Amino acid sequence: MTVGGLSRTPSRARRHSLIAAAGLAVSTLTYALAAGAPGEPARAAAEPATAGGLPGFRRLNESQYVRSIQQIFGPTIRVPGRFDPPLREEGLMAIGDSHVTVSPSGFEQYELRAREIAAQVVDDTHRKELVPCTPASPTAFDPACAARFFASYGRQLYRRPLSNRESESLLGLAKAASDQSRDFYAGLELGLSRLLVSPKFLFRIEGSQPAPDYPTATANAMVLDDYSLATRISFLLWDAPPDTELLDAAERGDLRDQAGLVRQVDRLMASPRFQQGVRSFFADMFGFEQFSGLAKDQAIYPKFNSDLAKDAQEQLLRTLVDHLVSRQGDYRDLFTTKKTFLNRNLGALYKVPVPEAGMEGWAPYVFGADEPRAGILTLAGFLMLDPTHEGRSSPTIRGKSVREFLLCQPIPQPPPNVDFAVVQDVHNPQHRTARQRLTIHQENPACAGCHALTDPIGLSMENYDATGDFRTHENGALIDATGTFEGKPYTGLIQLSRLLHDSPAVPACLLQRAYEYGVGRSATGEDKDWLDHTGQAFMRDKYRFPSLLRRIATSSAFRRIAPPAPVGPAKIVASR
């Protein structure tokens, strides 16, 4: 079955490209007729119903774990140990978190980490601040004080209240430890470590409840339960667990009322923590996990070091947050803006004067009209992000990044028998530039299809070397940075960025990724009508990213859960 040409059950390999192509496939006239003032609720039509997905089961990533501990216990609690590596699936780590496994060594690290954190919370330095009561005796178990301690931290760590059974189990464990050691705080420590090592903390385990008033008007419609919705909202907007006020709202049932839901979403977005949420989303969308261990050959790129890589990442994130959050700018203008931030390291890389404030920190900076920088694709944070090549730039990798990260168009992995020798030989006098070397793959039928998608985009970036430094020649040969995108010719990365600015696939991809990031699953054909509807609203909002997140967080689609699959009739065996 198809809807608007989009299959209801597309293959995983085709799903993202199909949705990206269809996401804003509505004429400009339709958008104009439906347009309203920025920030106003959609007036054109009611929100389309979606099928939803199964309740989520997502592991906290390293940043979310650390942020949870700091939010609950404060910044002085140290989080030790190492974490299992993340997993990227269907274009996002947020989706990979639903499918990731925990290794045996990872379980050991969780247990050791839980013990160390719990010990810090109740030690002499922290107990006055973090234990909410004083026991009748420090050498005997105090059930009232222990119950208060576990109720408070259990609710925050599990992101919901503890059940009676969970509370009784913790109190029994703590009492046994206190009685044996004759130390009340030893009992709290053991009970807290149990909470910290529980899957109910380490994983975001979602629950559902019936929703008879859902727009589909079906009797088996399901939505997230209140605490699961609160958690999904807080991780979308803050990349952190819900705070006490949001948990209180969930407990009162405020999130079932649209006005109450909007109040909480607006409160979270007004918080400074919202900037961290935006940074986390784009770090995921742009593949920033690749910065971990990023290396370049310093004999070829002497300016590169780990500090420069960190600064390049920070510059891109600062530019994104300033443009999208602080100035409420049009998302598309990120591809043409001259405004950014500089520090000493990046000034040296870009060969531009650094404002005085940037010599010791960061300073706003506007690239000049004659400088070869405009838009986020010309920043080092995007250009250097290739962990597979230390001694050269790769147009194929760069073009693949644009297709997958910005256009939601997955590119297949190369066949296992591809010969990369000619492409990697940068000293061949007959193939001095990357464009000349890549003609080998373009002539191979097994490679030509994918390279036709990636290489024209990547070759437009060849005026920037593997660290983002500008150049006009490679091995003494003039670089040809011409190409076509969506049938339109361009010369160089700045002109390509202008075409990306005007492409409807770019905001469509952002919408798709933000939705998938929030719900923790890839979009399917069942989501197409909702994506189209929200894409129209995104255009009316002048492509303001905060408005998009607000619409997602307050939508019916965001809380929709697919009903359980029907159980077939049991086989009946008649007795004789």
- Does residue 221 or residue 466 have the better pLDDT? 466
Percent of the chain at pLDDT > 90 equals 75
Give the Cα separation of 36 and 332 in Å (integer): 19
pLDDT per residue over 283-338, tens digit each? 999 999 999 989 999 999 999 999 999 999 999 999 999 999 999 999 999 999 99
Contact 47, 530 (CB under 8 A): yes
CB 77 within 8 A of CB 117: yes
DSSP three-state, residue 540: helix
Cβ–Cβ < 8 Å for 507, 535: yes
pLDDT tier for residue 452 given thresholds of 50, 70 and 90: confident
pLDDT over threshold 80, residue 543: yes
Band of pLDDT at residue 450, cut at 50, 70 and 90: low
29-50 residue pLDDT tens: 233 333 333 344 433 458 998 9
Q: Which residue has the higher pLDDT, 391 or 426?
A: 391
Residues paired with 342 in a beta bridge: 363
Confidence of residue 345 (pLDDT cuts 50, 70, 90): very high
Boundaries of every domain in the chain? 58-204
Reduce the DSSP state of residue 6 to 3 states and report it.
strand
Q: Give the residue, 505 or 3, on which the prediction is more confident.
A: 505
At 442, the pLDDT band (50, 70, 90 cuts) reads low
pTM to 2 decimals? 0.87
How high is the pLDDT of residue 547?
A: 98
What pLDDT, on a 0 to 100 scale, did the predictor assign at position 432?
A: 60
Measured between its terminal Cα atoms, the distance across the chain in Å is 46
Ramachandran class of 189: left when φ > 0, alpha when ψ lies in -120 to 50, beta otherwise: alpha
Question: Is residue 2 over pLDDT 80?
Answer: no
Buried (b) or exposed (e) across 143-170, using 16+ Cβ within 10 A?
eebbbebbebbbbbbbbbebeeebbeeb
Virtual CA dihedral for 140, 144, 145, 147, nearest 10 degrees? 110
Cβ count near 436 (within 10 Å) = 16
Neighbours of 283 (CB within 10 A): 19
Report how far apart, in Å, the C-alpha atoms of 492 and of each of 372, 402, 406, 471, 499 are. 10, 15, 18, 12, 11
**Average pLDDT, rounded, for the chain:** 87
Q: What is the pLDDT of residue 32?
A: 32
User: Is residue 202 within 8 Å of 157, Cβ to Cβ?
Assistant: no
* Sequence-distant contacts of 169-174: CB under 8 A, at least 24 apart: 170/146, 170/194, 170/195, 171/143, 171/146, 171/147, 174/141, 174/146, 174/150
pLDDT at 52: 92
pLDDT at res. 221: 82
The C-alpha angle 455, 379, 281, rounded to 5 degrees, equals 90
- Amino acid at the residue 70: Q
pLDDT by residue (tens digit) across 76-115?
A: 999 999 999 999 999 999 999 999 889 999 999 999 999 9
**512 vs 235: CA distance, rounded Å:** 17
- Across 367-523, where does the E strand assignment appear? 473-474, 477-478, 482-485, 488-491
State the DSSP H helix or E strand holding residue 516, giving kind and residue range, or none if neither.
Answer: helix 505-519
Q: What backbone phi and psi angles, to 5 degrees, belong to 193?
A: -65, -35
Would the pLDDT of 417 be above 90? no
- What is the pLDDT at residue 480? 94
Ordered DSSP codes for 333-364: GGGT--EEEE-HHHHHHHT-PPPGGGGTS-EE
| Spatial separation of the C-alpha atoms in residues 250 and 234, rounded to whole Å | 12
Mean pLDDT within 479-502: 96
Place of tokens 């990046």: 346
Residue 220: predicted pLDDT: 72
pLDDT digits 0-9 by tens, 146-204 = 999 999 999 999 999 999 999 999 999 999 999 999 999 999 999 999 999 999 999 99
Would you state the pLDDT for residue 146?
98
Task: Tokens for 77, please give them.
Answer: 């609690």
Indicate the helix (H) or strand (E) that contains 561: strand 560-561
Give CA separation, 342 vs 269, 345, 350, 355, 376, in Å.
Answer: 27, 8, 10, 8, 13
> Residue 454 has what pLDDT?
80
* Nearest CA among 441, 437, 443, 448 for reference residue 477: 437
Task: Give, as one character, the DSSP assignment of residue 404.
Answer: I
Let me know how long the chain is: 576
pLDDT for the residue 307:
96
